[in-house]
Amino acid sequence: MTTNALSSLWTEPRAPDAPARMSRDWVLAGALMVAALLEGVLRNDVAWRPLATIVAVVLAPLLLWRRTHPLVCVLVAFGTAMALGLASLLGGAPSVGLDTMVYVLVFVYALVRWGSGREIVIGLAVVAVAAGIGTVADYTGPADAFGGFAVLAAAAAGAALRYRAESWRRALDQGRSRERVGLARELHDIVAHHVSAIAVQAQAGRAIAGQRPEAALEALAAIEGEASRTLAEMRAVVRVLRDGAPAVDAPQPGVADLVALARRAPVPVVDVRLPDDLDELPPQVDAVIYRLAQEALTNALRHARDASRVEIRVAEDAGRLRLRVTDDGLIDPALPVHHGFGLLGMTERVQLLGGTLRAGPAPERGWTVDAELPARARR
């Protein structure tokens, strides 16, 4: 398990969306350079004063690249600290460095926050070696323990903020994915139903245009109505998709609109039966029942050969709402059953509300869609 964790860390990519260099980064680097210069001039107990001051001043501008090149910054900063520790150890001098150089902890934080997995492993190894050399060169007891704790705290802070940002990004991605799937379902339901109705009306109008011109005109009027409704609903979807456009929540069709849906359908008979005492349904349940019936009717128009009757039944019993849609079309048993986006969208809608869906050929002829939903949606 430890091997898997290390392998996962090693292959971890860099954190995305590292912010660009900002004005406050320049201010921070300039302030630290001034602070290091003042400390090097004013303190009396600085070992190797010129060298220590130059190192502290020169390393401060590395903060400008800490997000884009975190490993390079750590290698330069702690490599320099390592060299100073070795020089102190070999020369017998006390610790070489200024208190201002505590800013190197920022490099540790940036390494864990923005670096890739292998950069983190390599960089922390260099930090550990530099800390070990510094401890051997000038061990001061509790102060060294505090320094080690500070390094661990900087790394932990970087890891915590990285994890938090990654969790937030994943939540946003999941939210966007759910929105895309929902919009895809709406788009499919709108286009499939209206275009199927337009195609059926066009075929009927072409078949009877020679014998009954007035019926052909009626078919053209029906096509015009379906096209207008398609454009209106498509505009509503596009309005939501466009960046910066306010999402206007138009009233969603529900169970009560099934009668109007049946009247517009180019099928000889669409029989809708609704319970007289149907209680007011939650909006999401109401809309899903309508969309399921609409998609089932669309499938009857597109796939049920010689369908002359479609029945839509809605019933409520013991807190459950049941929708049953059947048609009397012919189905060729030799043809494979295709489960396309329509059935997928129906299944997703039902599952989101904690219901069940069954769809398939009826025993004698036609197709049956049977959905059952809780009358009160899950919260």
Pick the CATH number of 254-379 from 2.40.50.140, 3.30.565.10, 3.10.580.10, 3.40.50.300: 3.30.565.10
Q: How far is CA 243 from the centre of its chain?
A: 16
To the nearest 10°, the Cα dihedral for 283, 284, 285, 288?
Answer: 120
Q: At what angle do helices 117-137 and 70-91 cross, to 10 degrees?
A: 20
User: Cβ-count burial of 61 within 10 angstroms (0-12 exposed, 13-18 middle, 19+ buried)?
Assistant: middle
Contact 264, 226 (CB under 8 A): yes
Cα separations (Å) of 55 from 31, 37, 43, 91? 15, 10, 16, 18
Cα separation, 109 vs 45, in Å, equals 29
Pick from 84, 78, 108, 83: nearest CA to 97:
84
Query: What's the pLDDT at 35?
Result: 92
Q: Quick count: other Cβ atoms within 10 Å of Cβ 176?
A: 10
Residue range 59-116, pLDDT digits in tens: 999 999 999 999 999 999 999 888 887 877 776 666 667 888 889 999 999 999 999 9
At which residue do the structure tokens 């219901």 appear? 355
Q: Which residues of 325-348 are buried (b: 16+ CB within 10 A; e: fewer)?
A: bbbbbebeeeeeeeeeebbebbbe
Contact 9, 125 (CB under 8 A): no
**0.75 exceeded by pTM:** no
pLDDT in single tens digits along all 379 residues of the chain: 566 766 777 788 888 888 888 899 999 999 999 999 998 888 887 777 888 889 899 999 999 999 999 999 999 999 988 888 787 777 666 666 788 888 999 999 999 999 998 999 999 999 988 888 776 655 554 555 566 788 889 999 999 998 898 888 887 777 777 767 766 666 666 666 666 667 666 766 666 666 777 766 776 777 777 777 777 767 766 666 665 444 445 567 888 888 888 887 777 788 899 887 776 788 888 888 888 888 888 777 777 777 788 899 998 887 888 999 988 887 655 555 555 667 778 888 888 888 899 988 887 778 889 999 987 754 4
Q: Quick count: other Cβ atoms within 10 Å of Cβ 191?
A: 15
Cα separation, 32 vs 24, in Å, equals 12
* Residues counted in the chain: 379
Contact 96, 47 (CB under 8 A): yes
Pairing of strands 269-273, 367-374: unpaired
Pick from 309, 305, 304, 369: nearest CA to 343:
369
Contact 319, 374 (CB under 8 A): yes
Query: What's the pLDDT at 244?
Result: 47
Residue range 284-294, pLDDT digits in tens: 888 888 888 88
Sequence ranges of the domains in the chain? 2-139, 254-379
Query: What's the pLDDT at 113?
Result: 93
Query: What's the pLDDT at 337?
Result: 52
Cα separations (Å) of 213 from 155, 202, 351? 81, 13, 47
Q: Quick count: other Cβ atoms within 10 Å of Cβ 62?
A: 21
